[in-house]
Structure 1
Amino acid sequence: MKLKISFPENCISEIIIEQKFIPCLCKISNNFEIEFKVPLQPAIGIVFDWDIELIDERVPAGTGGQYLHYANGEISIVHISDDMYQILDLNIFYPSSGWCPVMKDGDYAHLMNELYDE
């Protein structure tokens, strides 16, 4: 998955981008948006190269409303070009199941039942 986002050009943005597991808000419907809020540099980006079926296998879908998924998350990204970033890690939090890994080390995370089958 890739994130297209424009961060303000300042040293705070550079420091935050280099951090692992940055707090964010994940909003998924026909599009997949990642939003960063204060105390971070406020910005909203669009995720590309994502698969709703693979995400649904890893996190519970919401009920009703504008979004299939609308939840807090944590993300690790690496800059690849201009305003484009590779998503390395993405976890989404749901009160009923805690932190759900979606991406790990640049790939979709293993499903819990796959871990037990190994």
Structure 2
Amino acid sequence: MGYRWAYCSVLLVSVAQLLIKWAMMHLPPICSPLLWVDSGHTTPLRVLAGGIIAYFLSTGCWFMALRRLPLNLAYPLLSLSYVLVAIFSLMIPAFHETYTLSRLMGVALICSGVWLIYHPSGRNNK
């Protein structure tokens, strides 16, 4: 059950990052607070609120995961959020993200590291 909470936390924090990125792309500059109350910016503000709520829920899931999993197994799972955000930001055309070979290699290294931590051959099963 601890892994389910951890995966839920990873998914929610990834969604939060994407929602907040989209909202910040569509909101006026932070130095123009009067423009934020303009009625044309209600959708980005709602998306921003959704991202903050997703962060809050992610933290709750993380608390539950930490109650059930050792920290040295739970914490590496958080790095999967970097992978999810990288993949989805590349797939969402509105973000205009570009990836170089070095960035893709970085994502592959993160995946390899998590795999090494959880691969059964690396554990002593005696």
TM range (shorter): under 0.3
**Structure having the higher Rg:** 2
| Larger helix proportion of the pair | 2
TM-score of the pair, normalised by structure 2: 0.23
